[in-house]
Each structure stands twice: as structure tokens, then as C-alpha cells.
Amino acid sequence: MSTLIFGLLTSLIVSFIATPYVMKLAIKVGAVDAPNQRKVHTRIMPRMGGLAIYLGYLVAFFLFVPYSSMGEMLGIFIGSTIVMIVGMLDDKYQLSPKWKLLGQLVATAIVVIPFGLKIGVVNLPYTGSIDFSSGWLFWLAIPITMFWIVGVTNAVNLIDGLDGLSAGVSAIATATMAIMALLMGDHKVAIYCFVLLGAILGFLYFNFHPARLFMGDTGSLFLGFNMAALSIMGFKEALFVSFIIPIVVLGVPLWDTFFAIVRRIVNKKPISSPDKGHLHHCLLNMGLSHRSTVITIYSISIFFGTMAILLTKTTKWTTIIVMVALLIVTHLATEIVGLVSRRHRPLINAYRRFRLKQAEQQRRTQ
């Protein structure tokens, strides 16, 4: 336990000390974020703050992650370093989406192919298991794993729209995975999570509203890549519930990204086109303040994290029932905040039609 605490404190202190220097560096090299019609902030802000997170993580990684546990973790380190560099280049030069995607694919290929981080065995309820470690499924595991890592990396990047939002949500997801690793007795995943968590918290002091700098793609791509890779490493070979736990842990960025895609399809816009329809935009439009919006999304993230931890202790049928309930609640919340649009609200509209029929029947019986 002392190793975990020292790892967290070391990365936190390094990240905290490095952040003001990274802020000056961002301004000096011109890595700044100017306001526009899609942005919430109203003044020029330095970005590339994710470099401070990386520095805290870098120092603690080599001090506290045991060399006997490197293997896949070294692959995650190399891959996350590559996406961090891609993020820095984007913060400075505004790379095109195809170059950012190429960098993510290279980083993902490195962690998946030479270092072997892939989906393992998925034990489905009552129908046996799917073993991705041999035969033709071995080759299918590679594109599935790469799709997951790239998808989550970009999902975390998409929610980076308010002060402290992406960093806070990533911290909650990392803390959740750390707790679950400890419960499962996986010390190597736990120490990695503690190291990453400390680096995020050291930076979050400067990034929470009102922020003094943004993490930029340097931070959001780095954190997203780590979230995705850790979710596979920690839960790749266990029960059915382990197949869905990463989805629940990363509930907020995946929820926001999924309905962003749905929203753009419904509105007949390109999937990659930016808009102001994300979860944080919707909450702001409902009248919440900047700080209240961030805290609300933190609360939702904590809810998802708590549910993920509880799911590890439930039976298969209870897991299925809880997941169905989560899907219904999530969809209802989507309609309430207008995450797709104010017109497309099937559950709410069905309830309103039901209430109207009830009222009509009561009038007829009177």
C-alpha cells in the first residue's frame, strides 16, 4: 500500500510543480486556444497543459512501476507517449484529423501487436465463452482492440470542453479502475492507476474552473489512450461482467460520443463535424453555471464508477437487469437534456401520449 501512496504523491507533486512552467512554455511556443462560436471560454488560454500530467506520470512510472510488471505496461507507456506527442503537435500546429488518427493508430498498433495487449477470454452467461487468444479469433481480437482504444481516446478528447471536465472525469475513471484492481488483487494495474491519478490531480488544481490553462489534445489524447488501454489490461480475462465493466467505468465519454454520432446522423451532418450539442453544452443551455455543469458531470461519472464496482459483486441475472436499467435511465436522461435534439424524445413522447389517453378516459367516465 505504501508503494501506491508514494507513487500517487510523487506524480501529483511533479505534475503540480511542472504545470506553471508548462503554462509559460505553451504561451512562448504559441500553443494557445482562441475563443470561437463553439468554445465556452471568452479569452485566449494557454493549452498543452497535458504535458505536466505526462511529466508527473513519467517520473513516477519509472520510480514505482516494478520492472517485472513492465511487459504490456511498457507498451502502454510507449503508446501513450506517442499520442501525447501527437497532441502537442496538434496544440501547436492544429493537425488535420487524418494525421491525428494516424498517430493514434500507430500508438495503438504498438501496444497491441508487439506488446500483446488484446482482448482475452469473454465468458458469456449461459452460452459458454469466446476465447480470443487462439485460432482465427486471435486475429479478430487485434482490430477489435484497436477500435476500442482509438474510440475511447477520441471519446475522452470530445468531452474536453469545460474547465476541469476531461481531467476530472478521467481522474474518477482512473480511481474506479484502481479500486477494482485492488479488489481483484491486481497490484500492477493498481500502481499504474495510482501513478496516473496523482498526475491528473496535480494538474487539476490549475485546470478547475476558473482554469489557468487547458490540457489541450496533449492531455486529452494521453488520458484517453491510458483509459482505454487500462480498461483492457485490467478486465480482459474474467467473467461476463468484466466485458461490460469498462463500458460502465467510461460511461460519460462513451455516452456523450455515442449520442453525438446519433445526433449528427439524425441532423444529416458528417459524423466528424463539430457542434455545440455535447452533454456539457446541453447542461449549460438548461441554465446550469459552468462550475455546476462540471460538478454535475463529475457526479454522473461517480455514479457510473460506483455501479461498475457493484457489478463485480452481482450475479449474472442481476448484472443483466442492472445494465438494462442503466440503459433506460441513460436514454431518458439523454432525452431530458436534449443530447440528440429537442424533437427526438421517444420515451418522453410515449409517456405524454399515455398520460393524454388516461386523461381522455377519465373525462369520458365522468
Binding residues: 157, 217
Cis peptide before 210 (omega within 30 of 0): yes
Given a contact cutoff of 8 angstroms between Cβ atoms, the answer to whether 47 and 214 are in contact is yes
Residue 103 exposed, middle or buried by CB count within 10 Å (0-12, 13-18, 19+):
buried
Place of cell 500483446: 116
Phi and psi, residue 152, nearest 5°: -65, -40
Length of the chain: 366
In sequence order, what are the residues at sequence separation of 6 or more whose Cβ sits closer than 8 angstroms to the Cβ of residue 236?
A: 118, 119, 120, 121, 242
Reduced to 3 states (helix: H, G, I; strand: E, B; else coil), residue 128 is: strand
* Closest to 112 (Cα-Cα) out of 141, 133, 135, 134: 141
CA–CA separation, 327 and 244 (whole Å) = 12
Q: Hey, what's the cell of 203?
A: 494538474
Place of cell 488484446: 118
Residues belonging to the binding site for Mg(2+) are 157, 217
CA–CA separation, 78 and 163 (whole Å) = 28
Strands 45-46 and 128-131: unpaired
Question: Within 13 Å and on the Cβ side, how many CA atoms surround 366?
Answer: 6
* Closest to 310 (Cα-Cα) out of 176, 143, 202: 176
CA–CA distance from 315 to each of 173, 245, 318, 319 (Å)? Answer: 23, 14, 5, 6
Return the number of other C-beta atoms located less than 10 Å from residue 55's C-beta. Answer: 21
Given a contact cutoff of 8 angstroms between Cβ atoms, the answer to whether 353 and 275 are in contact is no
CA–CA separation, 79 and 76 (whole Å) = 5
